[in-house]
Structure 1
Amino acid sequence: SSSSTTIVDNNNSGSNTGSSQSITLNFTPKSFGENIDCSSVITGFGLDGQDTVQMQDLRFYVSDVVVTSSNGQSESLALVSNEFQYADETGSVSLIDFTDVVTGYCAQSSSGTARTNSQITGTTTLSDVAQVDFTIGVPQAMMKEITASYTTEDAPTPLNEMFWSWASGYRHFVFNFGVLNAASDEGSGAVHIGSRNCVDAAATALADKESCEFVNNPQISLSNFNPSTDVITVNLDALFNGVSFVQEVSSESDHMSMDMSSDEMSMTGTTRPGVSCHSAPAESQPDCAPIFNNFGLSLSDGTANAANNSVFQFETAY
Structure 2
Amino acid sequence: MRRALITGVNGQDGSYLAELLLDRGYRVIGLVREDAGERLDRIQHIRSQLEIVPGSLLDDALLRRLLEHHQPDEVYNFAARASSSQLLTDPTLTAEYNGLAVVRMLEAIRTVNPKIRFCQASSSEMFGTVAESPQNELTPFRPRNPYGVAKLFAHGMVGTYRENFGVFGCSAILFNHESPRRGPEFVTRKISMSVARIRAGLTRSLSLGALDVTRDWGFAGDYVRAMWQMLQAEVADDYVVATGVSHSVREFCDLAFDRVGLDYRAYVQTDPLVRRAPESIPFLGDATKARRVLGWQPSMSFEQLVTMMVDADIVAQQVA
Is the shorter-chain TM-score for this pair beyond 0.5, marking a shared fold? no
Instruction: Indicate the structure (1 or 2) with the bigger Cα radius of gyration.
Output: 1
* TM-score, with structure 1 as normaliser: 0.27
Q: Between Structure 1 and Structure 2, which shows a larger proportion of strand residues?
A: 1
Larger proportion of helix: 2
The two structures have a TM-score, normalised by structure 2, of 0.27
